[in-house]
Amino acid sequence: MASEQELTNARNERFLRLLEPVYRDCQRWAYNLTQDAIEAEDLLAQSILLGLQNVRQLKNDGAFKAWMFRIIANAFKHHLRSKKRQAEAVDPEMLPRFGPRDDRWTERAEQADAVRRVLMQLAPEQRQALMLFEVQGFSIRETSEVLSKKEGAVRVLLHRARERLAVLLKKEGIVVPPGGE
């Protein structure tokens, strides 16, 4: 029979083995939620500890990524509640600019900055649904599970987010080439 130490070692080894392949995605997801590198680091650290505590309850390793994303999303909600912050769209003029604004700025960095400001004008749930579906490659069903919403609600969120995003990007002069489905 395994000792407590052996069980702890096995738990840690399993958790790290599952986490490593999706760690970059977890970093992105934490940053997508907080839009702040320092807060994202705190959120990720807290989520890792929560995940570690509960990984023995995870029966299916294949569901780890969605499970971990849900933990991060729930930890973020808790974080928002504890700070009594309103998860509202932010005035784009109040957003910090990343990096010096001089000639060394590449076109890509400027565009990323503009896209970031545009994204922050979307409702938080629209932004989260977009990042999960378009960037992380989650299906509608997986997105709905991470966000604890029904599939229909996620479709509506995505539809509206795309519409709003298109209008805002156009204002910024950013053209999204045809998707080529």
Partner 1 sequence: MTDRQDKTRTSREGEILRPDPALGRLLSTLDPPADILAWSKAERLVANAPPVQLSWAEKLVIGPTVRWRYALAPVAALLLVAVLWIMPAQSYQLGTLVLTKLPVAWEVGGPAYQEVETAAHEYFAALSIPQSELYVFVKLGEDGEYRQLALGLVGAGQQQAEAFVTTLTDRFPVLGAVEPQYTQIETKLHDNRLEELAMRIAQRSDLSSLDDNALKVEVLKTLIAAGCSDIELAINRRADGTVVIVVDATMPITVTGHTREELAASGLNPELLGHETFEQLLEQVLAPTN
Among 33, 44, 72, 129, binds partner 1 (CB under 8 A): 44
Nearest one of 76, 71, 20, 79 to 50, comparing CA atoms: 71
Among 77, 78, 81, 98, binds partner 1 (CB under 8 A): 98
The count of chain residues that interact with partner 1, using the rule CB under 8 A, is 77
Stretch that binds partner 1, among 56-64, 72-80, 81-89 (CB under 8 A): 56-64
**Residue number with CB closer to partner 1 (3 or 82):** 3
SS3 content of the chain, % helix, strand, coil (to 5): 75, 0, 25
**Residue number with CB closer to partner 1 (87 or 156):** 156
Question: What's the min distance (Å) between Cβ of 146 and partner 1?
Answer: 10
Question: What's the min distance (Å) between Cβ of 181 and partner 1?
Answer: 5
27 binds partner 1 (CB under 8 A): yes
**Rounded Cα–Cα distance for residues 146 and 169 (Å):** 27
**Rounded Cα–Cα distance for residues 18 and 149 (Å):** 25
Q: Which residue has the tokens 């991060």?
A: 72
173 binds partner 1 (CB under 8 A): no
Positive or negative, the CA dihedral 84, 90, 95, 98 is positive
